[in-house]
Amino acid sequence: MQQTPPESAHDPNDAWDSPRGLTAHREAVRTALAARTPRTETVPLTAALHRSLARDAVAGIALPPFDNSQMDGFAAASADTPGRLPAAATIAAGLVPAPLAPGTAAPIMTGAPVPAGADTVVPVEDTRDGCFDVAEVVLPASAPGRFVRPAGSDVAVGDTVLTAGTRLGPAALGLLAALGRTDVTVRARPRVLVCTGGDEVVLPGQPLPEGRIYDANTALLHAVLTGCGAEVCATRLVADSPDVFAGSLHADIAAHDPDLVVTSGGISAGRFEVVRSALAAEPAVRFGSVAMQPGGPQGLGVLRGGIPIVCLPGNPVSTWVSAVLLLGPALAEVWGTTGPTARQARLETTVTPLAAKTQIRRGTRVPAAPDRVDVLPGTSSHLLAEAARAEVLVLVPPGPEPLPAGTAVQVVDL
């Protein structure tokens, strides 16, 4: 079980009042991220799915643009129904019809404009002969407006159809297309520089020397960040040299202009905490601990160049859990990306909490009861295979007593 690191004599940075809670730290992450002003960009509708609308969308045309038929049928004056009426020329969708001659009925197709002089549509299957190939049509009584979609009944000119901040789903994109739009201004994807490393870490695909491990954290962070709708503008694997790290960080920032730097590892209480050491001279970057497990050691701040930096712990499960619970929601708030939202669920079995920290357990949904979750057995932050099987993160609040089955807890769907 991870312990709160002591404020050792080696600590080059100020620390916050530690440990602080998960919610307070997430708010601090949000504040740091807001140091960079979100940008907007205009993209084609085909690239805008799930993006956050930057400005209210106002209708320049009405929908429908004209009165049109809701059915395949006959357009007539309601005053002429019921009645036997000569059939006028067929009105197909896409035509601009002539006014309906008084005392006639025009075959009309779904979506076609209702002609002047007609105010009702009788579906073809409700006519006596049930087909269009008639010289005269026998119509039942039909009320004014029946099966007519009035111009503007969906959207009037000048309506605000979508408000700024709307997450653009298929129907919203369809609506913008229906209004004649080909592109839309959305909040830009935040550009994230991802720095992982450590002397023990080897890039996947390379031979694995003794005593080394493959880098899992770049893949984890890339997936969490892109899954939220952020853009990973560069990744960097760094060795345990503070000078090398500091140098590559400044070079990468100059080269890639990130909106955020995310690091993993090198922030705890060991002798070789590369990130913590390299950032010792940064006045607005602090390290400390958060009352959560895994993910206790955390660092956070704004670099002198104005770029926010979030320093996550290096164990893969700690990195992942921190990214999901801290980075995802903060990015969603500041940049309008699609962060995970917590929901309430009930424990399927008894769970023993930690005394003073929120424990983030990996869990699965109970198939027959979607509001119930089962926690997986492992708690250690190196158990990546178990993490890969998880469907939810379960936030177990601190406390002295076991939480019985049925206890309501916060969960985040993965």
* Contact set for a second copy, span 70-89 (CB under 8 A): 70-72
Residue 45 touching a second copy (CB under 8 A): yes
Least separation, in Å, of the C-beta of 28 and a second copy?
Answer: 23
For a second copy (CB under 8 A), the number of binding residues is 113
Residue 139 touching a second copy (CB under 8 A): no
The 3-state secondary structure of the chain reads CCCCCCCCCCCCCCCCCCCECHHHHHHHHHHHHCCCCCCEEEEEHHHCCCCEECCCEECCCCECCCCEECCCEEEECHHHCCEEEEECCCECCCCCCCCCCCCCEEEECCCCECCCCCCEEEEHHHCCCCCCCCCEEEECCCCCCCCEECCCCCECCCCEEECCCCECCHHHHHHHHHCCCCEEEEECCCEEEEEEECCCEECCCCCCCCCCEECCHHHHHHHHHHHHCCEEEEEEEECCCHHHHHHHHHHHHHHHCCCEEEEECCCCCCCCCHHHHHCCCCCCEEEEEECEECCCEEEEEECCCCCEEEEECCCHHHHHHHHHHHHHHHHHHHHCCCCCCEEEEEECCCECCCCCCEEEEEEEEECCEEEEEEECCCCCCCCHHHHHHCCEEEEECCCCCCECCCCEEEEEEC
Least separation, in Å, of the C-beta of 208 and a second copy?
Answer: 6
Residue 352 touching a second copy (CB under 8 A): no
Choice between 61 and 101, CB closer to a second copy: 61
Least separation, in Å, of the C-beta of 293 and a second copy?
Answer: 12
* Contact set for a second copy, span 300-329 (CB under 8 A): 314-317, 320, 323-324
Q: Which stretch binds a second copy (CB under 8 A): 130-138, 247-255, 275-283, 353-361?
A: 130-138
* Contact set for a second copy, span 209-248 (CB under 8 A): 210-220, 222-224, 226-227, 232, 240
* Contact set for a second copy, span 157-216 (CB under 8 A): 159, 161-162, 166, 169-182, 198-201, 204-206, 208, 210-216
Choice between 36 and 215, CB closer to a second copy: 215
**Member of 31, 89, 103, 132 binding a second copy (CB under 8 A):** 132
Residue 408 touching a second copy (CB under 8 A): no
Residue 65 touching a second copy (CB under 8 A): yes
* Contact set for a second copy, span 268-297 (CB under 8 A): 268-272
